[in-house]
Amino acid sequence: MTKRPNHIVAVDNGIAELLNSFTQLPNFAGGKCVGADPDLFFPDTMAQARQAIALCNSCPLIEQCLQWALVHEDHGIWGGKTARQRARMRNGVKAVNPVDAVKGAEWAAAVAGNEPARVLAERYSVSERTVFRWRKEFKHGKDVG
């Protein structure tokens, strides 16, 4: 057996663990991410994140990818979710989309406000009767919608 040179030392810096983790990757053949720039899924800007999420949302493997990432991955965009969204999912916290939150606040203000039922019915594509029901339930603190 040849003696190892002194300048080559064994270093355990997590490489073996990293390499082993690659064997756990599911088969993503047929995924929209195949052939895409990997840096897209580790974004520096929200614009890059939106691009990656849009690509994920058009992928037939989105659910398998997300399930894998919930167990194995703490960084990047996987299954159409950011690392923060996946962390919240793991902890049982429902991720809130800021756009939906704003729309919900606008809707609640509209239902509680003095706008005519006809205007709200047109805006939300419902009947005036539904708007009256929403207002009644909103006044009594029930979930409305």
22/31 Cα distance (integer angstroms): 17
pTM, two decimals, is: 0.50
Domain regions of the chain by residue span? 15-90, 98-139
At residue 17, does pLDDT exceed 70? Answer: no
Nearest to 38 by CA among 24, 51, 19: 51
The tens digit of pLDDT for each residue in 26-81 reads 777 888 888 888 888 888 888 888 899 999 999 998 898 898 888 888 888 999 99
29/25 Cα distance (integer angstroms): 11
| Contact indicator for 98, 85 with CB cutoff of 8 Å | no
